Amino acid sequence: MCSEIEAKLKIESPEQIESRLVELGAEFVAEQLQTDCHFDDDNAAMSKADKALRLRRQSVGETTQFLLTYKGPKEQSNFKKRREIVHIPKPCQTSEMEHPSAAGQVSSFSTIFIDWQYH
């Protein structure tokens, strides 16, 4: 089991951050689109227990991957920290992510950089 540690920072200029990353030796890898479906019951038992069950569709270029993730309750920390179990199911023939029992669906777009010091 892994721990997820997350820090969200407000930035004024994404372009400045990207330029600085390149100056420091990071390399642009790809842009990705993530579509998340979060699951819960009618009583919001998962949310009330500060847990989450998510199915993520992650697309980078022509490659699409699905990840099923369970997130435990947040741990006491200066950052958002919680236990996480990620399962990568075998590829399926689904072209659309349709889950009528999903509590909510959210899409996000991000840019991926890799730091030369860590790869």
User: What pLDDT sits at residue 116?
Assistant: 44
Please count the residues of the chain.
Answer: 119
Instruction: Of 25, 29, 30, 31, give the one whose Cα is nearest residue 115.
Output: 25
Q: What is the mean pLDDT of residues 58-62?
A: 90
Q: What is the mean pLDDT of residues 95-110?
A: 54
User: What pLDDT sits at residue 86?
Assistant: 86
Q: What is the mean pLDDT of residues 31-39?
A: 91
Can you give the pTM of this predicted structure?
Answer: 0.67
DSSP-assigned letter for residue 25: T
